Structures are given as structure tokens and as C-alpha cells.
Amino acid sequence: MDATTRTASDADLPVLPAELGRALDGFLAHLDHQRGLSAHTRRAYRADVGALLRYAVRHGATTLARVDLPLLRGWLASQAERGLARSTLARRGAAARAFLRWAFRTGLVPTDPSARLASPRVARTLPTVLSPEGAARLLDVARDDARTAEPDDRPAALRAWAAAELLYASGIRVGELVSVDVGDVDPAERLVRVLGKGGKERVVPFGVPAARAVTTWLEEGRPAVARAATGPALLVGDRGGRWGQRQVREAVHRLAARAGVDDVAPHALRHSAATHLLAGGSDLRSVQEVLGHADLATTQRYTHVDAERLRRVYAQAFPRA
């Protein structure tokens, strides 16, 4: 049958043959009901599986039964030839496997062709971190900007100070930061409650400088930009809406430039916090809890960061290095 359909879940996808369109719709509905998947992961899988099915149609596969292992390998190879990063290829391979496993379990295909699909191994790179001195310079600049800003600029400076201090002091993700509400943070107890990956809630401590920055923002900065319809967001933008991740990144980039340190994104402050905690004697399990890592191996990479720093110091300082 040559009837075609658009997926109900994403009207922007090109028309697919009826069977593929229904399968994609079913998979997206399946993802929507899976606990623990972030919105970002769902969007990525939607785009990746849609790309796979469009590739399949271009190569004459108009039914799921014709989406076989050679086609899957050809799809990934075509993207490798386009120069896509190994991490992107790995993610797309994972999306294809998730889709075809679901199709097999639901009886849409007799076998799972992705069971033998190998994805490129993603190189484990060490995260970018600031030295403790560099982090201190960045936060000092944020504090000084907040103290010396002109009245019209003061709310923005206070907001940037509070954001930078919380990112470094608690090690939370930027997405977690912008989702924090006023009721989630307790400057007196120096605790912040965040909703992490997989919908898992955790409570993270922070220090006195961050508590001071947050308190000053709540007392002097937020009231100046909040509106009647602002809602409970802790960090509020100039127009009264919840501050977004892009605005946080821009603020951190500006602070890094003013502090004369490496140009870093907000996630580097999380990396820096983890590295500095471990270097200061914190155990891996405690740091894992602070960061909200499901797997201890994810936290262990920060021990590699500190080991790499020690190797550089050794090479520079030891006569027989």
C-alpha cells in the first residue's frame, strides 16, 4: 500500500510510508511514557529515528522488515562520511537500537537487526576545569561586579553572581539551576533541592559565599525584575520570566573573560567543583551523591583530571621527570 502519513507527534517530519509513520508514532508515544527520560533525550531520539527512517525510504525500504543490518550500517557510515562526531554517531546508533528493540518487543518485526549493530566507541576526554585560583578569580569578579554595578545594572550583576556561586558551590547542572524555584533553596541551611536526570531529586549543600550571593539576589535583585506573572523561579530574567540556560552560559562566559581565566561554560564550573572536592579529600561516593551521578564510573573520571594535573606538576618540577 502506498498510502502515506505524517507522524502525529512531530508535524515537521517529512511524509513517511504508512507503516513507518505508524511505527515512529508508536515509538514516540512509548518514549513519552518512559520514566527517567529527559526531554532532551526524547527530542534527540525523535530526530535520530526520523533520520533513520528517511534514509531507509531513500534506499527503497518502505516497511520495517526491510530495515536490516546492512541498511543500519550504511546509515551510520553515510553520517561518518559527512564528518559527524563519534559521540553523535554513538547516540544515533543507540537511538536506532532502542527503536528496533521496541519494534521487536511489540511484534512489528520478527527479529531485531540492531542486535549486531556496533557503534563507534566514544573517546573519553577529560573535562575542562579551572584551577581553584581561577575559580576564585571568576567568583570574585562576579561579587565585585554586583557590589559596584550602577543601579540599573545591579539586578543583572546580582543574578550572575548568584548563578555562578551556586554552579560552583553545589556542582549542579545548568539545567538543574534554571529549574530551581525560590522554595527549593534555603540560604540559612545552605541547601538546594534540584530535580536531576531521570527525575531524581537530591538535596545539595553549598557554602557561605553562595548563601550570601543567593540571599542578596533574593532581597535586592529578584524583586527588581519579578512581575505579577513571574511565578516561583529563583533566577528571573529582565522581562520577568524564568532565566534560561543560554542566558546563564552568556553570563559565565562574560565573567570568565573579565576574570582573565580560560573561557568556560557553566558545566566547567560543575567539573571544577567535582575535581576540587576530590582533591580536597572528599570520597568518591560523597561526590557522586552531590553530582547526582547514577554510575560511580562517571564520577571517577574526576580522579583522572586530578592525576593529570599532578603529572603536569611532576613533569615541570621534578629534575628526573
- For the annotated catalytic residues, the residue numbers are 173, 197, 267, 270, 293, 302
Q: Cell numbers of 44, please?
A: 534527540
Report d(CA 135, CA 272) in Å as an integer. Answer: 8
Phi, psi of 83 (to 5 degrees): 90, 20
Residue in the block written with cell 512581575: 227
User: Among candidates 234, 175, 178, 202, which has minimal Cα distance to 39?
Assistant: 175
Contact between residue 78 and residue 89 where contact means Cβ atoms under 8 Å apart: no
Burial class (CB in 10 A: 0-12, 13-18, 19+), 44: middle
DSSP string, 255-269: HHHHHTS----HHHH
